[in-house]
Amino acid sequence: MPTSVCPECSEDVYVDADSEQGDVISCDECATELEIVGLDPVELDIHEESDPDDILADEEEFQY
């Protein structure tokens, strides 16, 4: 089973072999939500949920 290091607490995080880039998993140690940003080798980054208000503001800014 592939592993990577949690960027929040530095503990090993086990990633399912069938996981894909963009999947969100949780660190068992600190419960931080992590996004898989690379697969070979496995790389994790802290998952930041997008705020619906930010998306709406971006769409309004680019009206044609």
**Interval 44-62: pLDDT, tens:** 999 987 666 555 555 555 5
pTM of the model: 0.74
| Number of domains, the chain | 1
- Write down the pLDDT at residue 12: 97
Please report, for the domain that includes residue 51, its CATH number: 2.20.28.160
Query: What is the percentage of the chain residues whose pLDDT exceeds 70?
Result: 77
What is the rounded CA–CA span in Å between residue 7 and residue 51? Answer: 22
Name the residue range of residue 36's domain: 3-61
Tell me whether residue 7 is exposed, middle or buried, using C-beta atoms within 10 angstroms of its C-beta: 0 to 12, 13 to 18, 19 or more.
Answer: middle
Rg of the Cα trace of the chain? 15
Using CA of residue 19, residue 24, residue 28, residue 29, what is the dihedral sign? positive
Average pLDDT over residues 27-41: 96
Report the half-sphere exposure of 60 (CA within 13 A, side-chain side). 6
